[in-house]
A and B are shown apart, each in its own frame.
Chain A
Amino acid sequence: MTNPAPSNILPGLRLRQRFPLLALILERFVLSIVLLFAVSILIFGGLEALPGDFATTYLGQSATPQAVANIRQDLGLNRPVTTRYVEWLGNAVQGDFGTSWASKNSVSEQIGKRLGNSLFLAGFAALISVPLAVGLGMLSVHFRNRMPDKIINVISLAAISLPEFFIGYLLILFFAVKLGMATFPATVYDSMGLVERLKAIALPTATLVLVVLAHMMRMTRAAILSVMSSAYMETAELKGLGAFRSIVKHAAPNALAPIINVVALNLAYLVVGVVVVEVVFVYPGMGQYMVDAVTVRDMPVVQACGLIFAAVYIFLNMTADILAIVANPRLRHPR
């Protein structure tokens, strides 16, 4: 009876021993929440430190001290920072981001619409770019150092070297102004049908695809190539497996982890990093919404956008980590 009773083992440890995968996922999840909390402090603090406040910025040159004082009083800007932070976080956790100071509309409602637009554009771009990038990556491995590989590389490198607004302007110039075949501006609105909507986002989608393609494609290529040099790939070759089949069946699954990582990173970019593309194509997404709000110091909107952007980033990174663990059993038992 010298062995400790099983109940004395820490419950967390037991869980970890029995279900290593689940424990890892839970750990990541908790870490993400803590991270998000830290980000919320950063966002709030950062905004407090910005020069100028809402009342003066919003009214600009037409402000009178009376109007400024009225607005400050109305919004409770005279209260201490900590009180406002706690109140804001409490509501945000329940999904209530308050009302915009400038337009008096519900921020959650507005974000619902804007985030929907952003996700629609990002999703559509991802739907095209991810399979295309992975496919092209495999193709260039298959033809490595031959003509198709070189062509794919040069084109994708050229696309990634140009700033996205420039690609956007080029596409607008050729397809909207010169040829008149694409819809521009890409403004979408509530009463728009799906077909019309897809037509409207054709050019911004093409821009985004060109921007993210090279990154994912080259990572796929590099990852698969590094697997290709391992011994079991040689075996596959020796036992007479076709070149393309050995890439798809044996190399690709083992190169999955880095590919998932780069895909997640690019997906995050597609949602939170496309401000410039939204502005160029006049697309009403989250980025544009946040920029407008920063300009007039519309704090509730900026805070909500910041928090949502952070959440998207953290969530995608977490998903990438978890998927990488699932794809690679060795990662499940960290020493």
Chain B
Amino acid sequence: MNDYTKYLASRVTAGGLSRREFMGRAMAAGITLAVADKLFTESAEAAEPKRGGHLKLGLEGGAATDSKDPAKFLSQFMFCIGRCWGDMLVESDPLTGAAVPALAESWEPSKDAVTWTFKIRKGVKFHDGKELTIDDVVATLKRHTDKKSESGALGVLGSIKEIKADGGNLVLTLSEGNADMPLLLSDYHLVIQPNGGVDDPLASIGTGPYKLTSFEAGVRATFEKNKDDWRSDRGYVDSIEVIGMNDATARIAALSSGQVHYINRVDPKTVNLLKRAPNVEILSTAGRGHYVFIMHCDKAPFDNNDLRLALKYAMDRETMVQKILGGYGKVGNDFPINSTYALFPEGIEQRVYDPDKAAFHYKKSGHSGSVLLRTSEVAFPGGVDAAVLYQESCKKAGIEIEVKREPGDGYWTNVWNVQPFSTSYWGGRPTQDQMYSTAYLSTADWNDTKFKRPDFDKLLLQARSELDEAKRKDLYRAMAMMVRDEGGVILPMFNDFVNASTKQVKGYVHDIGNDMSNGYVATRVWLDA
């Protein structure tokens, strides 16, 4: 079975592909009818979920300082825990990234995408038995959009001007049109809580498939099944135990000895060793997170586009993916979007390592002497190695890079967004609009490349309120080209999310939205005895 058919089979298992679709694609890939038929049956059988059992997850990212308040979810640990007990209004489709209904049954924008009406699902009960009402929804959104709020979603919801209930519907009025509004509501902070969680933000009462039974920050959380769950296509295991394990070796030891069923953050350096364990399966999902080398477009010598181009051509992307990510990633093309985003602009030529072109632009820039690159292990795993690799590939183009290793402590305060050339990391965002608005809009707080282009901003705002998908795609394409050819970001690679499970774990959904099956891992998998 080659990779493509494996991929098709996994989509059948995840319930994302019908028989007709599967057969068509498999045969197009050169598989005989009989084999394809057998494959489909096997994959579909694997898709029959079993109920019951106790699922144990060993996750990196928990800390004693974690808060149970969804507004303050930050760590991977809390992200995953929040998804177990709470629901948002909207979810994102695991395979396409499009908005799909959750607590909001359906929605309707006004023509200019300024007013959005969401129909709220009826008959949903909170864990305490109280029925979900429109007031709870309104209160939740109000809490997260309050100017004094410390919510992690405050930035995402910045454009919401008015939140009100209209009959059973939620009506949002924005300060400007935004075609992506439903997707923004899938943000993991926006768990719908009774009365918005105003009375007791730490109560962990939601409408999700599991009830929180015990919690110790950074140490352990346990869940039992919510018998009144409004959905039947999730929550297969009876109980869940999430254990905080910040040591990579401890996670691997716990998984290979069968003490936990699933771990996150498998180090690319050791993944090949872990693969040898007989009962272990590596789960690698294409993601939106990317590693970057950022140049400040407004500071010498990086204010010269020829120098920026020279440094872009001097990046050996393939080697980076192989050496730094251990092959668990995809090459980047110097703009922060990849094919996991809806409306990805296809057909843009891949930039490749070209010492001659790099040398040409370097000469044209008129710059001489070495270029100082600051880096650290905290910028991304392998950050220092990547900088040294880059130094080597630049040497072949006649560009001298001086690598300075900065202390990890305080890197985000003293180096990132402050120094003109450094290594960094970006997690993905639900939409292209959000990614660009966070880091490439002239007025963005975290515009870490100091990319300030009024024409780019105009395109971004135009695309934001454009409801016609084809037109939007064209706009996104123009923006991508601008960032790629004139921006200050060198983007060598997108990293895969590399997790691992024991072979008992079935039904894992490779969700392009975010790590750990977009946080839903515990509610989506089942245990095969």
Contact = CB atoms under 8 A, between A and B. Distances in A.
B378 to A, nearest CB: 10
B168 interface: no
A295 B258 CA distance: 30
Contact of A56 (B218, B219, B246, B413): B413
B160 to A, nearest CB: 14
A320 B216 CA distance: 36
Nearest to A278: B247
A70 B148 CA distance: 6
A334 to B, nearest CB: 44
B445 to A, nearest CB: 6
Contact of B64 (A71, A110, A281, A282): A110
Interface SS majority for chain B: loop
A52 B416 CA distance: 12
Given A104-B67, A282-B250, A56 B412 contact: yes
Interface in A267-323: 279-282, 284, 288-289, 292-293, 295-296, 298, 301
B348 to A, nearest CB: 26
B413 A61 contact: no
B130 interface: no
A328 interface: no
Contacts of A292: 63-65, 218
Interface stretch (B6-14, B149-157, B298-306, B480-488): B149-157
Nearest to B424: A61
A288 B64 contact: yes
A33 interface: no
Contacts of B150: 67, 70-71, 74
Contacts, number: 140
B413 A169 contact: no
A297 B395 CA distance: 40
Given A189-B216, A282-B247, A295-B63, 17 more contacts: A58-B65, A102-B67, A103-B64, A169-B253, A172-B250, A176-B253, A184-B253, A185-B243, A190-B216, A279-B247, A282-B244, A284-B219, A284-B220, A288-B218, A289-B218, A292-B64, A296-B63
Contacts of A103: 64-68, 217
Contacts of A298: 65
Contacts of A185: 58, 243, 245, 250, 254, 259
A14 B65 CA distance: 52
B338 interface: no
A296 B62 CA distance: 12
A153 interface: no
Contacts of A52: 409-410, 412-414
A103 B150 CA distance: 12
B38 interface: no
Contact of B220 (A58, A189, A281): A189
A67 B154 contact: yes
B218 A284 contact: yes
Contact of B253 (A62, A102, A177): A177
Interface in B130-161: 147-152, 154-155, 158
Nearest to A110: B64
A301 B64 contact: yes
Interface string B392-420: 00000000000000000110111000000
B249 interface: yes
Given A173-B253, A284-B218, A100 B65 contact: yes
A86 B509 CA distance: 54
A254 interface: no
List 3 A-B pairs, minimum CB-CB distance, nearest first. A51-B410, A102-B65, A52-B413
A211 to B, nearest CB: 17
Nearest to B189: A62
B214 interface: yes
